[in-house]
């Protein structure tokens, strides 16, 4: 059964107000209804329903009739949110385009009078590793790294230098490609380095927000830029943007590479496809089914063969990564507790998947949701064999 509260919360994250989200969820659930019926089903005060409808119409999320009584209909989710989804895709494409143009932009800026680029020189493929180790050890405040498989392998050979800067309490952040989670190179990186995962297509090392080392993974050659106000600020912004949405990997550190890759795929699938899939499912089907569980199956993630302990372990890692939370299983009482330090339904998609896994394994479940504004939210799942 689709959770209306979770849908409302997710829509609020898309920029809708609470009333707008409640009204839209009610409309896609009930079809074409009158304004007074909408007020009843959405639990919105009657005095607020007409302003709310007008706002939905302006956002191209609903259609309002000109006749009386006023009738209203939701715009289909795939039409209503198609623009937003494509906007996010365009942002990612723009980032990739920016990466490929960085070298050209830096060369052009050097030729321009008044350019801020003070130094720019090449590093031969045979000297790149030694140069990287020197720049790491010489850092004074921070190191930020974007590395694909090739660049991450180079970084793994800098363990001693990384340990040296960590002893000086430097901030070291690394964005690595998903294929590197729990790889041999990953396990060589010291514990104090914070690693997150995202789709990375370049090798860029940023030192003290002032020096850059770019490495070409095709030929192994590098280029160093110093005092790079233009190039440096662009790379800093790009790093911060990707870092904010990248997946934390600390909770996966003790897993095998296969297990870690599977959890990454689950999080990525739900984050990118979960909301549009649920909205569309609620519009086209009235069957009581676990939509997120089915979404994972459609995208090649099968949890049917997992044991209860395996599923608990996977969901515990996911909660740590996405909500700074935990999943606890009390074997004696047959109670599962899903805790999240974040409020507003952040744990509900993962609770839904966990509930679906349990039901597929033949368990009967009963859930109870608790929300505490200061302590976060908690979902209790009581399980029993059918």
**Do 220 and 366 lie in a common domain?**
no
Q: Which of 75, 96, 113 is the last residue of a domain?
A: 75
Query: Tokens 């805790």 identify what position?
Result: 339
**Do 237 and 290 lie in a common domain?**
no
Q: What are phi and psi of 373, to 5 degrees?
A: -60, -25
- Average pLDDT value for residue range 328-351: 85
Give the rounded percent of residues in the chain with a pLDDT score beyond 90. Answer: 30
Q: How many domains does the chain have?
A: 3
| Residue pLDDT, tens place only, 45-72 | 998 999 999 999 988 889 998 888 889 9
Q: Which of 248, 266, 297 is the last residue of a domain?
A: 248
CATH of the domain at 284: 3.30.1380
Is the pTM here over 0.85, yes or no?
A: no
**pLDDT of 117 over the 50 cut:** no
* pLDDT of 116: 47
Q: Which of 248, 279, 306 is the last residue of a domain?
A: 248
* pLDDT of 202: 85
**pLDDT of 118 over the 60 cut:** no
CATH of the domain at 231: 3.30.870.10
Tokens of 376: 């976060």
Average predicted confidence (pLDDT) for the chain: 84
Give the least confident one: 106-120, 250-264, 287-301.
106-120
**pLDDT of 119 over the 70 cut:** no
How many Cβ atoms are within 10 Å of 197's Cβ, its own excluded? 25
Q: What are phi and psi of 71, to 5 degrees?
A: -110, 150
Triad 355, 198, 202: Cα angle to 5° = 165
**pLDDT of 103 over the 90 cut:** no
* pLDDT of 230: 66
Which structural domain, as residue segments, surrounds residue 170?
83-248
- Average pLDDT value for residue range 222-240: 78
| Residue pLDDT, tens place only, 123-157 | 888 999 999 999 999 999 999 999 999 899 999 99
* pLDDT of 281: 66
- Average pLDDT value for residue range 185-203: 91
CATH of the domain at 71: 1.10.10.10
**Do 231 and 100 lie in a common domain?**
yes
**Do 167 and 25 lie in a common domain?**
no
Q: How far is it between the farthest Cα atoms of the chain?
A: 78
**Do 96 and 244 lie in a common domain?**
yes
Tokens of 220: 């192994």
* pLDDT of 89: 77
pLDDT confidence bin for 161, thresholds 50/70/90: very high
**pLDDT of 173 over the 90 cut:** yes
**Do 271 and 370 lie in a common domain?**
yes
* pLDDT of 186: 93
Cα→Cα distances 353→6, 145, 334, 362, Å: 13, 33, 18, 15
**Do 93 and 232 lie in a common domain?**
yes
């Amino acid at each position: 059964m689709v959770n209306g509260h979770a849908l409302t919360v997710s829509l609020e994250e898309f920029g809708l107000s609470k009333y707008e989200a409640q009204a839209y969820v009610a409309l896609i659930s009930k079809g074409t209804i009158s304004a007074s019926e909408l007020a009843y089903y959405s639990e919105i005060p009657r005095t607020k329903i007409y302003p709310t409808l007008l706002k939905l119409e302006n956002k191209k999320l609903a259609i309002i009739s000109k006749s009386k009584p006023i009738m209203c209909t939701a715009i289909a989710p795939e039409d209503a949110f198609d623009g937003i989804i494509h906007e996010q895709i365009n942002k990612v494409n723009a980032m990739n385009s920016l990466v490929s143009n960085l070298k050209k932009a830096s060369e052009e800026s050097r030729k321009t009078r008044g350019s801020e680029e003070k130094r720019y020189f090449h590093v031969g493929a045979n000297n790149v590793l030694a140069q990287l180790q020197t720049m790491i050890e010489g850092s004074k405040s921070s190191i930020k790294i974007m590395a694909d498989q090739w660049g991450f392998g180079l970084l793994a050979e800098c363990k001693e230098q990384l340990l040296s800067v960590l002893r000086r309490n430097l901030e070291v952040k690394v964005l690595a490609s998903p294929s590197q989670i729990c790889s041999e190179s990953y396990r060589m990186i010291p514990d104090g380095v914070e690693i997150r995962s995202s789709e990375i297509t370049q090798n860029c090392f940023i030192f003290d927000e002032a020096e850059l080392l770019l490495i070409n993974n095709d030929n192994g050659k590098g280029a160093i830029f110093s005092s790079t106000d233009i190039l440096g600020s662009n790379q800093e912004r790009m790093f911060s943007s990707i870092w904010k949405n990248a997946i934390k990997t600390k909770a996966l550190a003790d897993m095998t590479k296969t297990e870690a890759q599977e959890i990454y795929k689950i999080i990525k699938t739900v984050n990118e496809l979960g909301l549009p899939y649920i909205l569309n499912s609620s519009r086209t089907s009235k069957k009581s089914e676990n939509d997120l569980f089915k979404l994972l199956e459609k995208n090649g993630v099968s949890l049917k063969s997992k044991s209860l302990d395996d599923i608990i372990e996977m969901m515990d890692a996911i909660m740590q990564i996405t909500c700074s939370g935990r999943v606890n299983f009390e074997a004696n009482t047959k109670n599962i507790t899903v805790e999240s330090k974040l409020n507003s339904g952040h744990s509900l998609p993962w609770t839904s998947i966990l509930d679906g896994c349990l039901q597929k394994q033949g368990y009967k479940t009963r859930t109870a949701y608790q929300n505490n504004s200061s302590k976060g939210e908690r979902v209790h799942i009581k399980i029993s064999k059918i």
